[in-house]
Structure formats: C-alpha cells, structure tokens
Amino acid sequence: MRPRIAHLYAYAGGDPISNSDPSGLLFGINAGEGYGDSAVEYWINQQQQTGNSLYAIPGTLAEMWTPCHSENTLTGLMGAWGLAGALEMGAFRFKTVGSNTWDAARKWMNKEGIQILEKGQQRNHWLFEQNQGIGENVADWIKNQPWNTNPISAEFNSLLGQYPNMAWLGGPAWAGWMALAGASGGAHAAGIGGSNCGCK
C-alpha cells in the first residue's frame, strides 16, 4: 500500500505558474478569506489524521492566502507539525513496568525501537538533565522517558554535559515546533505582532 502524498500545488489548481493569486481571488472568483481558512483546516486535519508532516507544506501555502488569520493558522500548523513529529519519534510512549533507572530505560527504548541510535550518537536528556542541573531533582520515572531524550552526536552530548543549562539545545525538532506554536499563540493572545490588514 502506497502512502498518500499531498498534491503540493492543489492551492493553485495544479498550475502555480498560470494560476497565481496575489489578489486573494480564486481564479477570478472572490473566494476571500473563507477559502483560505477552509484549505488550512483541511490540511491540518490531513496532517493530524495521517501523521504525515508533509501536509504542513500545502497548509502553510493556504495559510499565506489568509493574511488576516495567519496568526491562528500558523500557530495551528506549528503545533500540528510538532505533535506529528513527537508521535513519529515515539515521544509519548512511556516505560511503566520495572525499574526506571537510565540503564533500564535505555534498554527498554532499544528493545521497543524508540529513537534508534546511529553510529556515534547518544541520547541527550534535553529538558531535565540526567544527573545534573534541574534533572538532579526530577524523579527517574519522569526524566528517563522518550519525551525527554533525543539522539544527538556523542561529541555534542559531551559538550552539553559541561553546560547543563544549555541541554535544551540538543532537544528534538518536534519540541521546537511546539515551543514556537506556544510562543506564537501567546503573542497573538497578548496582541503582540498582530496583522494590519484590517479584517474583522
């Protein structure tokens, strides 16, 4: 069975050269904001239902079509992209049986195929460090889970070990997308960086 691939030029009827739409009109029809919002919602739903992060691409293009609502739709896309990435990496799978020491958790992740390491990689505890900084005060059953670890090069992991307050630099891409979505949503709620298009 072949995975479904998003048609990247669906927003322009399959012909982005002839059917560009800088005025916001849908091929001469005044589709306005409603069309763009519907398209964004469609692509977000496709991404969430299939787990395919590529659906964020046409969703982002559709979001550009709706400048007055871009703050909300972009926030939704970033959050969906982050969530899809987290699910793909097994970030929300939890070791619930047996010991939660780092050695036991690492063996469990290897056995379950979670965050398979490539040659020269180690798992970085990116939010709560393993045995230093904030992580010293966090229970093993919390910090030794897939959501708090990310495969990075052994050299980078060693460097971050010297600077525990910088461990987040070795965090997964999905966490970055979720953080951006949270920051964007917070800024929008606070009225920072709003659109000047005058739409209501």
- The structural domains of the chain, with segments of one domain joined by +, span 10-89+175-189, 102-171
pTM for the complete prediction? Answer: 0.58
Query: Do residues 7 and 61 touch, judged by C-beta distance below 8 A?
Result: no
Q: Which amino acid is at 46?
A: Q
Decide: residue 160, CB within 10 A, 0-12 exposed, 13-18 middle, 19+ buried: buried
Determine the Cα–Cα distance for residues 80 and 21; give it in Å rounded to an integer.
26
Contact status, residue 52 vs residue 59, Cβ threshold 8 Å: no
Tens place of pLDDT for every residue, the chain, 200 residues?
A: 344 444 555 555 566 666 655 555 444 444 444 455 566 677 777 777 877 777 776 766 666 555 555 556 667 777 777 888 888 888 889 999 999 999 999 999 999 999 999 999 999 999 999 888 888 999 999 999 999 999 999 999 999 989 888 898 999 988 888 888 777 666 656 665 554 444 44
